[in-house]
Amino acid sequence: MLKVEDIHVYYGAIHAIKGISLEVSQGEIVTLIGANGAGKTSILNTICGLIKPKSGKITFEGKDITGVATQELVKRGLTQVPEGRRIFANMPVYENLELGGYLNKNKKEVAEDIERVYNRFPRLRERKNQLAGSLSGGEQQMLAMGRALMSKPRLLLLDEPSMGLSPILVKDIFSIIKELNQQGTTILLVEQNAKMALSIAHRGYVVETGRIVLTGMAADLLDSPEVKKAYLGG
203-208 β-sheet, strand order: 78-81, 155-159, 186-190, 29-33, 203-208, 211-217
222 in any annotated domain? yes
Q: At what angle do helices 93-100 and 137-149 cross, to 10 degrees?
A: 30
64 in any annotated domain? yes
105 in any annotated domain? no
15 in any annotated domain? yes
Q: What share of the chain is helix, strand, coil (3-state, %, to 5)?
A: 40, 25, 35
- Which has the closest alpha carbon to 26: 70, 60, 74, 49? 60
Range of the domain at 47: 2-86+154-231
DSSP 110: H
198 in any annotated domain? yes
pLDDT tens for the chain, 234 residues long, are 999 999 999 999 999 999 999 999 999 999 999 988 899 999 999 999 999 999 999 999 999 999 899 989 999 999 998 887 788 999 999 999 998 988 888 889 999 999 999 998 999 999 999 999 999 888 999 999 999 999 899 999 999 998 888 888 888 889 989 999 999 999 999 998 899 999 999 999 999 999 999 999 999 999 998 888 887 765
Q: Where are the extended beta strands (E) located within 84-160?
A: 155-159
99 in any annotated domain? no
118 in any annotated domain? no
117 in any annotated domain? no
Domain count, the chain: 1
CATH classification of the domain holding 75 = 3.40.50.300
